[in-house]
Structure 1
């Protein structure tokens, strides 16, 4: 269970005040895959980062009864001077998982060959993404945070990535951000819509999608008018 209690986050963007979260109080139940919907710029990625602990809210609290991942596939925290293997060893120590098991899984999954023992600064963006996704799947979490993750590589690699992610979802929950409504329908049970700093939770994914589409249509109509 993840509980947001009076959560607020405000930015200053180009001299203007931007409210991402406006005293949000909401609960994400344990073991559910939940779509996080909202218009571009609504603050979905910022909300995920706050839930992960990578970003602090302006005020309010985030309470959890289980473990929460970093955003799946996020490669921005890698140390470019360390090898892929060394970065993985560091993560294994931080999260208290078996180092040998984690290394075996990531090396086999990411298909980096000898590059696994080379500095990450030498990697292509695709190699970094494969390493990041493999590392995300190697650490067991109660809730995975997924922000527009799309597996890189050929069809066989993408199929393998989907199989691994779906297997994790049989034991864990997820909060998923994606522009692909089809993907959200296949992956998620419920949904939450972020609009003007407010978050509305829906137990049925179709109700969440309908609400999101209505918001999108209202904005289009106001711009057209």
Structure 2
């Protein structure tokens, strides 16, 4: 399972791909990709990007204050005010290459005490709980208008998160927990569902999901089991 620690330790576009073996991104007219990582739980922004240059920083943070850049275990300097936590060397490297940007002290308008409602507001982009039922990232896909010929976004999760739910077509992918499935089983399922439009379509979609979620080399390295597990899971 990919954890929040894994993502933070190596968080850059290339690094995120490295912790998801066998996964590639959907083809598009451009090589640019938007990777959105939602950290479920609580992330201490003043530890991730510490304002070491603020004269009140050490007084207010006390024992939580990180050593200044250049000191043993110190922050990774961004500018004269902010520095990244030393575990975020990947992000720091991307920042120096102008491939990452830290946007601090940004929040949704939600000010109540429910963590779950707060997450919903963050993901649907509304001004209050229950105002919208789809996600802002799904709505952002609207200008593509299906021009890509396939799903424009993929969620690295068992279930599609709220931020990607909506009218625009998306898909999801997650490592299978099912045991390996023989190719002969897939062929038998194809024969079994050949005359059933609903199941035949779902099985074909599961097999073809490798075009988005895994490259051909990755499938070959794993004996086709990623594809097979996805196909069998779609039937359950």
Give me the TM-score of the superposition, normalised by structure 1: 0.32
TM-score by length of 2: 0.31
- Higher strand proportion, which one? 1
* Greater RCO (Cα-Cα under 8 Å, separation 6 or more): 1
From the CA coordinates, give the structure whose radius of gyration is larger: 2
